[in-house]
Amino acid sequence: MDCSIFSGRDPEYADIVSGFLDEVENEEGQTIGIEERGIAALSALIGCQGVSAFEAVLRSELRGGLSPVVVRETVYQSTAYVGIGRAMPFVEAMDRVMSEEGISLPLPSGRTVSRDERVSAGEGVQVSAFGEMMRGAWRTGHVNRWLAGNCFGDYYTREGLTLAQRELVTFCLLMAQGGCEPQLEAHTRGNMNVGNDADFLRRVVSQCLPYIGYPRSLNALAAIARVESADNKG
């Protein structure tokens, strides 16, 4: 993230922030892939509503080679977890930065299912991530039907991110918001089910810590530990 915007009036703050970001990014045993780090950082900044930092990180990630489609899918998916009211400023920020970086909008469509197929397709994603217990869950009430059709059918079925990457997006959004620990634990298990193991998730927390702070990072580490403990007892 470019901290030069602070360097004129707040040079010491710029030095502290940029130095810590560099330290975290290169901490031995706590690194993750470049693409996953970009996805995690952008998701965490949406979750904690850090729109200014989001713009700075997005610009840096795009210049570093992060796919605009990956960014779009990360931002779109956030709507299911932070709501339209809190997602819209990030859609606007994304479009503004992409336009300034010379990226032609709109990007190619990412849809893979029709509105008539979305509940069934979303249920399939739920089963893939959470197991057979999710089959038919959408029939138990209108909110569960919306969850299958909108959250998983409208977003998770889109092209541009793997299922493991989509679960990573969700984990970071929930972690960064705070107060979502039951859902965070559920998606910690969902991440593990699709290949994002506990060690990887702990490294994700480390990489997001500068953006979301220590309290929510420590809560996320505790959630991972609880899921691990429950699995070991089982």
Q: List, for residues 47-81, the tens digit of each pLDDT value.
A: 999 999 999 999 999 999 999 999 999 999 999 99
Q: Are residues 35 and 135 in the same domain?
A: no
| Amino acid (one-letter) located at 101 | E
Identify the pLDDT of residue 234: 64
CATH of the domain at 17: 1.20.1290.10
- Alpha carbon distance 66, 23 (integer Å): 21
- Alpha carbon distance 30, 207 (integer Å): 7
Q: Are residues 178 and 223 in the same domain?
A: yes
Q: Are residues 27 and 99 in the same domain?
A: yes
pTM over 0.95: yes
Q: Are residues 142 and 64 in the same domain?
A: no
Q: Are residues 144 and 191 in the same domain?
A: no
Q: Are residues 23 and 100 in the same domain?
A: yes
Q: What domain range includes position 11?
A: 4-106+164-233
The 10s digit of each residue's pLDDT in 187-233 is 999 999 999 999 999 999 999 999 999 999 999 999 999 999 998 87
Residue 118 C-alpha from the chain's centroid: 22
Q: Are residues 149 and 172 in the same domain?
A: no
- Alpha carbon distance 12, 130 (integer Å): 46
Q: Are residues 76 and 122 in the same domain?
A: no
Residue with tokens 């609880």: 226
| Amino acid (one-letter) located at 234 | G
Q: Are residues 172 and 152 in the same domain?
A: no
Q: Are residues 87 and 132 in the same domain?
A: no
| Amino acid (one-letter) located at 99 | S
Residue 1 C-alpha from the chain's centroid: 17
Task: Give one DSSP letter per residue of 115-158, joined into a string.
Answer: TTTHHHHHHHHHHHHH-GGGTTGGGG-HHHHHIIIIIIIIIITS
Q: Are residues 122 and 89 in the same domain?
A: no
Give the chain's domain count.
Answer: 2
